[in-house]
Amino acid sequence: MKYAPSFQRTNGFWPVVIALCIAAALPFFFTETHIRHILILIFVYAILASNWDLSLGYGGIVNFAHIAFFAIGLYTYGIAAKIIGLDPWLALLLAPVLAIAFAALLAIPVLRLEGIYVILVTIAAAQLLFQLVVSQGDFTGGTSGMVLIPRLEIVGYRLSSDGRIGYYYLSLLLVVFSTVFLYKLERSALGRAIKALRDNKYYAISRGVSEGRIRLLTLCASAIFPGLAGAFYGAYLRIASPDVFGLGFLTITLSILLLGGISTIWGPLIAAVVITAFAEILADYGASRSIIIAAMIIAVVVVYPGGLYAAMQEIWGLGTRLRTNVTAAWRRRFQASLRQEAMGVKDHLVETRHGPVSVCDTGNGDQTIIFVHGNSSCKEVFRRQFDEFAGQYRLVTFDLPGHGVSPNGNPDEDYAVEAYAEIIRNLVDSLDLKTPIVFGWSLGGYAALEYAARGTP
């Protein structure tokens, strides 16, 4: 079963390629370490937020211990590389393993709970971990954290040399891997099961989706890249502090996720750029910066809960609608003769409850036949029937909203079989068609049935 087109053929392909090229080229334009540091931060936030979306958006599990995965990665790297003395690269790989193990442990209470209780138990788990970290000062450095954690090197080359360029590309690589991972996962059977559980739990279970297994897998999968990112962060900054458990870090990551838009892969990536850059612009304002950012977050959530990505899609959709509407108007205005040639009669707009539709009305006879066309078609498909029956019947056909030369409808209301049936009824009333025969083809057939089922009042 394959529903989704391959990535090369989606609308998103070129934007992603361009974004990648830009990201790969950026360090050549920005050589100051500070700006590169910001970019690396953006990547870390992007990984955290987009993977959080896996459990929160796609899985419907509101996991407030997500940041703890990051913290575990951070401390695993710190302890393994500094105290145990493991090779830093091995320590980097160990981090996600421990994060997954923690996710599996976390799944035990989460599987048994629902709704707000999941939020509470995950907060408790994160706090438990925080208390453990703080209390084990010998390993973790307690409240002051660990310093001088070993850095990453490739055959003697420090990734931090040349203005952190090595770390920049490593983090970019992590983002790419994480995004590919999420993209593939979302389109896999597992991804569909995850979404099915979120949308209709009992139906999904009755169709053989194992709730426990899928939720466990969701949590574990969402822990991999945050764990890696945590270890990366430790190697990059060379410190590990328990501040990562704080509400501040959580708030920023969660805002990135919610402002980007949940249940999207790209939204959190975009929001990570926007919010981090915005925070950087306001860097000089100290405490007021946090106030401004928080107020902005509230404003966006209150006004437009869908988030940035949804807004971008909606603006894109508006553009498409405008384009198609203009095309339809153009054709109505300047290509009327073409259509008249086909149908033998000029079409005109008739107002209905669902907006104006373009109607052809011809033939003579007491009995009317209404022809309703199918999905993605138009009224001109009936030109042969119009030729054939014009002598015996009055013939009426029309373009459904958004089809042929009818203007676009309102997506919430007008593209539904019920709406089409109502359009037919409106036409019957306004053109005085008495008791017509309704002929429907494909989608038009459903509309005709719906019209028939409603009876004539």
Partner 1 sequence: MTLETFAFLLASGLVLGGLYALMASGLAVVWTTLGVFNFAHGAMIALGAYIAWQVTQYTTGGAGFLLGAGVSVAIMFCLGFAMHYVLVKPFELHANLVLLAVITTLAAASIMENAILLSWGPRDKQIAPPFTGNIEFLGTAIGIHDFVILAIALAALLALALFLRRTTAGRALRAVAQNREAAELMGFNVSRLVAMTIGLSAATAALAGVFVGSLRFISPTVGTDPLMKSLIVVILGGVTRFTSPIYAAFIVGLAEAFSAYFLVLYWAPAVLFAMMIIVLLIKPEGLFGRRTRTL
Partner 2 sequence: MSAPLLELRGLSGGYPPVSVFRGVDMTVGNNEAVGLFGPNGHGKTTLLKTVAGLIDPRDGDIFFAGERLNTEGKMRPRTSRHLNYDLFRRRRISAESVVRQGLIYVMQGNLLFPEMTVEEVLDIAPQAARGRGGAAQMRDLVDAVFPRLRERWHSKIRFLSGGERQMVSIAAGLLALPRLLILDEPTLGLSPKLRIELCEAIAKIRAENVPLIVVDQNVEFLTSLVDRLYLFDHGAITREIDGSAMPSHEEVMTMMFGEAH
Site for partner 1, rule CB under 8 A? 56, 62, 108-109, 112-113, 115-117, 119-121, 123-125, 127-128, 131-132, 134-135, 247-248, 250-251, 254-255, 258, 262, 287-288, 290-291, 293-295, 297-298, 301-303, 305
Name which of 169 and 304 has its Cβ closer to partner 2. Answer: 304
CB 371 within 8 A of CB 379: yes
Type of residue numbered 423: I
Alpha helices in 1-154 (DSSP H): 13-29, 33-53, 66-78, 88-112, 116-135, 137-140
Distance, in Å, from the CA atom of 401 to the CA atom of 94, rounded to the nearest integer, reads 57
Instruction: Please identify, among the stretches 24-32, 61-69, 89-97, 307-315, the one whose residues bind partner 2 according to the rule CB under 8 A.
Output: 307-315
Contacts of 69 (CB under 8 A, 6+ apart): 99, 102, 103, 222, 223, 226, 227, 230
Name which of 125 and 433 has its Cβ closer to partner 1. Answer: 125
Candidates 30, 169, 304, 441: give the one binding partner 2 (CB under 8 A): 304
**What is the nearest approach in angstroms of partner 1 to the Cβ of residue 121?**
5
131: partner contacted, choices partner 1, partner 2, none (Cβ within 5-8 A by kind): partner 1
- Six token digits for residue 333: 């205005």
CB 269 within 8 A of CB 179: yes
Name which of 141 and 404 has its Cβ closer to partner 1. Answer: 141
Instruction: Please identify, among the stretches 111-119, 173-181, 339-347, 405-413, the one whose residues bind partner 2 according to the rule CB under 8 A.
Output: 405-413
Q: Please tell me whether residue 314 binds partner 2 under the rule CB under 8 A.
A: yes
Q: Please tell me whether residue 12 binds partner 2 under the rule CB under 8 A.
A: no
Query: Phi/psi of residue 225, each to 5°?
Result: -70, -35
135: partner contacted, choices partner 1, partner 2, none (Cβ within 5-8 A by kind): partner 1
Tell me whether strands 153-154 and 157-158 are parallel, antiparallel or unpaired: antiparallel
Distance, in Å, from the CA atom of 85 to the CA atom of 283, rounded to the nearest integer, reads 37
Contacts of 226 (CB under 8 A, 6+ apart): 47, 48, 51, 52, 66, 67, 69, 70, 73, 99
Tell me whether strands 368-372 and 348-352 are parallel, antiparallel or unpaired: unpaired
Distance, in Å, from the CA atom of 171 to the CA atom of 231, rounded to the nearest integer, reads 11
Q: Please tell me whether residue 303 binds partner 2 under the rule CB under 8 A.
A: yes
Q: Please tell me whether residue 305 binds partner 2 under the rule CB under 8 A.
A: yes
- Six token digits for residue 208: 């053989």
Type of residue numbered 135: S
Instruction: Please identify, among the stretches 83-91, 121-129, 269-277, 411-419, the one whose residues bind partner 2 according to the rule CB under 8 A.
Output: 411-419
132: partner contacted, choices partner 1, partner 2, none (Cβ within 5-8 A by kind): partner 1
311: partner contacted, choices partner 2, partner 1, none (Cβ within 5-8 A by kind): partner 2
**What is the nearest approach in angstroms of partner 1 to the Cβ of residue 234?**
23
Name which of 30 and 304 has its Cβ closer to partner 2. Answer: 304
Q: Tell which positions 137-176 bind partner 2, by CB under 8 A.
A: none
Q: How many C-beta atoms surround the C-beta of residue 261 within 10 A?
A: 25
Name which of 192 and 425 has its Cβ closer to partner 2. Answer: 425
Name which of 380 and 422 has its Cβ closer to partner 2. Answer: 422
Candidates 413, 417, 426, 449: give the one binding partner 2 (CB under 8 A): 413
The upper half-sphere exposure of residue 59, i.e. CA atoms within 13 Å in the direction of its Cβ, equals: 30
Residues of this chain that interact with partner 2 (CB under 8 A) are 302-307, 310-311, 314, 410-413, 418, 454, 457
